[in-house]
Amino acid sequence: MENIFDKFKKLNLDTSPIGLSIELREPFFCTPIGAQIIGWDNGIHYCFIKGFKEIVFCVNPETCCNYYVYPLAKDFTDFLRLLLSLKTTNAIQQVVWMDKDAFENFMNDPDEVRYTSSEPVQSILQNISSNLEVEPIENPFDYIKKLQKDFPYKEIKFTDEFYNITGLTRQENI
């Protein structure tokens, strides 16, 4: 049986306007071992990691929190549902460092509203919604925060390059 990620790929959409550019690029120093990259937004990328079931992760080489890699959705269906709610990966990946007020301010920023209301963004979201039969997720901020709260970050495996660049030891996995 075909999973939703395979169905999504078959749509062959240009999802770069929503921050999920499908391109072949080399992984970064902070891309975990066993990562299957599913999309890029400049240097930030999204992936599944072998050993973590169907969780969708963000890999952020210029992290502004305590982690270079953090979970965003328990599976690809919920990742799409988050996209339908928040309109772009930009909002999804930034929740990790935000409190509720910062999140609300970001989502209501006139530039963000103007961009997420644009025809290219709305067209992609409509295409995803209708072709994959997914609905926006309720309370996206709370959903992401709950997933990230008790996640076992130290179980993510990194290359030697990660530790050489960051100066961290294997016990510190940020």
- Domain membership of residue 166 (yes or no) is no
The model's pLDDT over 40-58, given as tens digits with 9 standing for 90+, comes to 998 899 999 999 999 999 9
Pairing of strands 69-73, 35-41: unpaired
- Domain membership of residue 173 (yes or no) is no
The model's pLDDT over 8-30, given as tens digits with 9 standing for 90+, comes to 999 999 999 999 998 888 888 99
Distance from C-alpha of 103 to C-alpha of 129, rounded to nearest angstrom: 24
Residues 44, 61: contact at Cβ < 8 Å?
yes
Provide mean pLDDT across the span 64-75.
Answer: 91
- What pLDDT score was predicted for residue 4? 94
101 burial via Cβ count (<10 Å: 0-12, 13-18, 19+): exposed
Distance from C-alpha of 87 to C-alpha of 157, rounded to nearest angstrom: 30
Residues 80, 88: contact at Cβ < 8 Å?
no
- Domain membership of residue 174 (yes or no) is no
**Domain region containing 153:** 2-161
Residues 140, 99: contact at Cβ < 8 Å?
no
- Domain membership of residue 169 (yes or no) is no
Residues 96, 67: contact at Cβ < 8 Å?
yes
- Domain membership of residue 171 (yes or no) is no
Residues 37, 108: contact at Cβ < 8 Å?
no
- Domain membership of residue 168 (yes or no) is no
What total of structural domains would you count in the chain?
1
Q: 2 pLDDT band (50/70/90 cuts)?
A: low
The model's pLDDT over 74-125, given as tens digits with 9 standing for 90+, comes to 999 999 999 999 999 999 999 999 999 999 999 999 999 999 999 999 999 9
**Overall pTM surpassing 0.75 (yes/no):** yes
